[in-house]
Amino acid sequence: MKNSKTKGLLSLVLAIAAVVVFGILGYSTMNDIKLGLDLDGGVSITYETVKENPTSEELSDTIYKLQQRVENYSTEAEVYQEGGNRINIDIPGVSDANAILEELGKPGSLVFCDQNGKTILTGVDVSSAKAGMYRDDTTGLDEYVVSLTFNQEGSTAFAEATKANIGNPIYIIYDNEVVSSPIVQTEITQGSCQITGLDSYETAENLASTIRIGSLSLELRELRSNVVGAKLGQTAITTSLQAAAVGLGIVIVFMIAVYLIPGVAASIALCLYVGLILILLSAFEITLTLPGVAGIILSIGMAVDANVIIFTRIKEEIAVGKTVKSAIKTGFQKALSAIIDGNVTTLIAAVVLFWRGSGTVKGFASTLALGIVLSMFTALFVTRFVLNGLYNLGFDKAKMYGIKKERTPINFLGKRNFCFIISLVVIAAGFVGMGMNKANTGDMFNYSLDFKGGTSTNVTFNEDMSLERISTEVVPVVESVTNDADTQTQKVAGTNEVIIKTRALSVDERDALNEALAETFGVEKEKITAESISGAVSAEMKKDAVLATAIATICMLIYIWFRFKDIRFAASAVLALVHDVLVVVTCYAVAKWSVGSTFIACALTIVGYSINATIVIFDRIRENLKTKGNQSLEYVVNNSITQTFTRSINTSLTTFIMVFVLYIMGVSSIREFALPLMVGIVCGAYSSVCITGALWYLMTTRKSSKAAVQKKTVKSVK
């Protein structure tokens, strides 16, 4: 007994020490976390096309290629159109514009010519250019190369040129300067080649970068570059951290009050989770933006889920007469499949979103994946370690862990038709709202600057305006003219300039804004300039987000099908996901919430959260089917939902608490993200309890009915 208590005390001391150490390390690394342009400022570069009147297709293609390129600096970098022939690039987390310009390069003309000066192809015909290295088997030396691939037209032209120029050089000319002149060794017909003989990997990378830059659809020249201040500033970070602390405190109190000793173990694991996530954000250099901050806070609430599943199982085991020690062991074992399936399913979505997404979607996916892995680790290992330590320390009475009383199954399936009707009415209202919005405004939703573009107004004040003054004095003046809360501001560091981005303003509205700024702040009207800007979320990025979501959904469907050996489980889960997203879309349409880049992150968060809740119920149905006996299928489904009902409510409640505190304490942009998330959390809990099980039951009984009819028909024929 004495050894047991010593072992328990040692375990608890180690756990608390880990929390303290990782908490201190996490706090100390907060300054090393890369922040997005909206939180920490960065570099803003504006290019102008050499071609005076480029087509929309040329601009769109160039913007998309630049977006892919600047993501090497940050996944949250934005590329968007200004005016008719300008492209603006915002790169967060960097401060040296000259270094960025030198590394990014100055997009210009790129051509491939033969020794007679005849143009073979241009940079537009180059699909990719990558630096590489390999070991020569003959000499044993490292060789540095640049691998090129061409589009269909480029492949044909290059094949003809190499056939005619074997033994002669092909000149690669960038901005009228020869950057490479490789000798043609043989005819190249496969649409790809390698440039060899380079003296270092750095040389190869520089050449590849130059070719990539020159492969833009349009030739660009630098117009201006500057270092910009944060759009939201320290206020957003401070309030978000305060919200996280308050929310975490409430969740810890809730867990201890409801789950007693297991709640203490979960709280210690949760504190360790927070410290670890801060450390790993810095270690993996994940760029953190406003949606990312909200996502981290949301993940704290979701991290409780696995613990709730485990503790519910422990209560059930104690209720059937097992000892506390045995209940702890069995509880973790029985909860394992639900935890793994739920988290792996969401992780699949995160991986696909990172692979296919871009910009905000990719940054969101990184944060999501990190949170999933950490929550599984802390729940399955840290919580178990601490819980066993507390048990060995003497906290071994059953009443300290709670006993789950047997409940009569609630007849959820009996209310399925009512639930289906309610859901269909809400979703239909969304489509009606979209139609009315389209008729009244020309758009189905209230698109923000990120999607629709607007007006960028550059104001030079007579004094240096602090971020606080911009937020409390300048923004209200702007919104009094625009009558719109979606106003973004950027302070140009080292100057008195402030960039104000609003919805598209008419000429009269621009004049009214100029008058208001001049009257309120005494600025000279001549120092106020305005331009039209395109949405930062380009058509290609929207397409990437939709495609990524579709692929992720298909992959989740396949995984659920594989794990549950029943396509009906997968189909029900996917239908529930569609239901949840459509309900939130209804709110966006009817309430006219602003639809911006955070909308994508919000929808993806709801998808990940909802599928996790559904998996837990399906896991219990799968388990109960094995011991079904003479019980009806309807009883099994109702009983399974009832058994997991407390888990569904508690997990939803803890997650809702985190987001609600964020909504109450956060700045306006935080609230814009938190409000639809709260709707999604409530909707996800509702669909997992009232919709998914009912859908699976209908699909299963319909199949059984058809099989019975077919069997009866066969007997009749005989």
Domain ranges of the chain: 2-35+232-400, 42-106+224-228, 110-215, 413-431+541-708, 454-533
- 626 C-beta neighbours (distance < 10 Å), count: 7
Q: Name which of 478, 631, 496 is nearest 487 in CA terms.
A: 478
Q: Assess whether pLDDT exceeds 60 at residue 711.
A: no
Average pLDDT for residues 449-463, to the nearest whole number? Answer: 83
How does residue 148 score in pLDDT terms, banded at 50, 70 and 90? very high
pLDDT tens-place string over residues 68-112: 778 777 777 778 887 788 888 888 777 666 667 666 655 667 899
Q: What is the CATH number of domain 2-35+232-400?
A: 1.20.1640.10
- Given CA atoms 620, 621, 622, 623 in this order, what sign does their dihedral have? positive
Alpha carbon distance 385, 338 (integer Å): 20
How does residue 594 score in pLDDT terms, banded at 50, 70 and 90? confident
Where is mean pLDDT largest: 289-298, 334-343, 413-422, 670-679?
413-422
The lowest-confidence range among 109-113, 123-127, 397-401, 545-549 is 545-549
How does residue 707 score in pLDDT terms, banded at 50, 70 and 90? low
pLDDT at 717: 47
**Three-state DSSP class for residue 594:** strand
Percent of the chain with pLDDT strictly greater than 90: 21
454-533 sits in which CATH class?
A: alpha beta
- What homologous superfamily does CATH list for 413-431+541-708? Multidrug efflux transporter AcrB transmembrane domain (1.20.1640.10)
Q: 182 and 132 in contact (C-beta within 8 Å)?
A: no
pLDDT at 708: 54
Average pLDDT for residues 636-655, to the nearest whole number? Answer: 89
Q: Assess whether pLDDT exceeds 60 at residue 712.
A: no
Exposure class string for 421-430: b at 16+ Cβ within 10 A, else e: eebeebbeeb
Fold of 42-106+224-228: Alpha-Beta Plaits (3.30.70)
pLDDT at 448: 77
Fold of 110-215: Gyrase A; domain 2 (3.30.1360)
Average pLDDT for residues 218-230, to the nearest whole number? Answer: 73
How far is the CA of 63 from the CAs of 44, 82, 105, in angstroms?
A: 15, 11, 15
pLDDT at 432: 95
How does residue 171 score in pLDDT terms, banded at 50, 70 and 90? very high
pLDDT at 107: 60
Where is mean pLDDT largest: 4-18, 352-366, 519-533, 557-571?
557-571
- 556 C-beta neighbours (distance < 10 Å), count: 25
How does residue 668 score in pLDDT terms, banded at 50, 70 and 90? low
Q: Assess whether pLDDT exceeds 50 at residue 372.
A: yes
Q: Assess whether pLDDT exceeds 60 at residue 447.
A: yes
Are the folds of 42-106+224-228 and 110-215 the same?
no
pLDDT tens-place string over residues 227-271: 666 665 556 667 777 887 888 889 899 999 988 899 999 999 888
Q: Assess whether pLDDT exceeds 70 at residue 205.
A: yes
Average pLDDT of the chain is 82
pLDDT at 162: 93
pLDDT at 435: 93
Q: Assess whether pLDDT exceeds 90 at residue 479.
A: no
Torsion of CA 37, 43, 44, 45, to 10 degrees: -150
